[in-house]
Amino acid sequence: MTVPIQIPAHPSETLRPSTLIAEGLLNPRGLCLQADGSLLLAEAGSGLPDQPFSGRVSRLQPDPHRLGAYLPGELLAQGFRAMNMQARMLRDEIMGLSDIACGDGRCLASQTDYVAGSKLLDLQCSPPEPVFHSRGNLNALCYHPTRRSWLAVKPDTNQLVEFSSGQDEHVLVQLPELEQGQEAVPVTLVYEPETDAVLISLFSGELHGDPARKGIDFADKAGQVIRVHPASGQIDVVIRGLQLPTGLALRPNGNLLVLELCSHLQQPLPPEWNGEPLHGGFTRFTGRLLSCNLQTAQVAVLARGLDTPSNLCLLQDAVLVSEGMGLAGRPLPTPDNNVVPLSGRLRRVQL
């Protein structure tokens, strides 16, 4: 059994050039690269009370005149429910459309909907049609080529689940609690061809030990990446010591890219919050992109200062990062003591 990589307190930095390729988005989440170079993008929605159905799917085409840039998105589908979880979680979390994955000749999107029921939607249909149904929070999604099935993680029940044609949702693995008794809370998963397993990022749930810290009572650097073998249910810890890991992307050279949402937690959004600039649980503009060599255990920071990054999409020579979680337009404090409106965006980081 391999020894887990421990994220050092001060990993080396090899910061890469980055550019914003889209702004003004409504909680951008999953991105999926298409064969023609275009991108499919899921946006969870604005979270605003007067826009309950603001979730949407767009296609972004490469700009033929600017290398690494994209044209404004073309709307493919809209009207998906967006749910602001602030009242329940006291944090900036908007749920709805969460991910897009392609496999077996089709592209599916995962949608969390606590009212009408969660589902996987076939994007080849217009409007997209549900092909699988589920209860609870359907987060990241991937296609497993040897099982010829779709795998998803469920952060509210801490499960790895499988969807196969003609069959109901099947729980493959129930993830155990972490060291301090907190829930595992899986966020993202990626297929690992070398092992036929999936790598899953574990956010690490609230401790619920201090009522005064409700919404931000998280253990420091308790996040992990685990390897789960769907056939046996075996779980191995691959990386420890992450701070609220979200997106994952596995490079062809075997290096694993990992997003950390923020450096620490502060300023939850209480029920009586009236719109003043607060971080909203997650310290804004402190997220990082890490590169972890799974063979040598070397860790490097490729980008920092990211605003609540959630998803990754690997390109041939770069990686795309979804940023900007929360209630669209609300005032955010910045590291230089200014205030800016919350806005979703996509960042391209050169590799």
Residue 243 has pLDDT above 80, yes or no: yes
The dihedrals phi and psi of 88, each to the nearest 5 degrees, come to -90, -40
Q: Tell me what the pLDDT averaged over the chain comes to.
A: 96
Which residue range forms the structural domain that includes residue 316? 5-350
Asked if residue 1 has pLDDT above 70, the reply is: no
Q: Which two tokens stand for residue 152?
A: 């998803």
3-state secondary structure of 299: strand
Residue 76 pLDDT: 97
Q: Which two three-digit tokens encode residue 69?
A: 């840039």
**Does residue 318 carry a pLDDT above 70?**
yes
Q: How confident is the model at residue 274 (pLDDT cuts 50, 70, 90)?
A: very high
With cut-offs at 50, 70 and 90, classify the pLDDT of residue 312.
very high
pLDDT, tens digit (0-9, with 9 covering 90-100), for 63-105 = 999 999 999 999 999 999 999 999 999 999 999 999 999 999 9
pLDDT at 2: 75
pTM for the complete prediction?
A: 0.97
Task: Assign residue 79 the CATH number of its domain.
Answer: 2.120.10.30
Domain count, the chain: 1
Position with higher pLDDT, 212 vs 108 = 108
Q: How far is CA 104 from CA 112, 195, 273, in A?
A: 23, 20, 46
Query: Mean pLDDT over residues 13-42, rounded?
Result: 98
Band (pLDDT 50/70/90 cuts) for residue 125 is very high
The predicted model gives 36-53 an average pLDDT of 97
What is the greatest pairwise CA distance in the chain? 55
Please provide the DSSP assignment of 241-296 as one string.
Answer: EESSEEEEEE-TTSEEEEEE--S-EE----TT--S-----EEPTT-EEEEEEETTT
- In angstroms, the CA 264 to CA 247 distance is 17
Question: If 0-12 CB within 10 Å is exposed, 13-18 middle and 19+ buried, where does residue 308 land?
Answer: buried
- Dist. CA 159–CA 172, nearest whole Å: 7
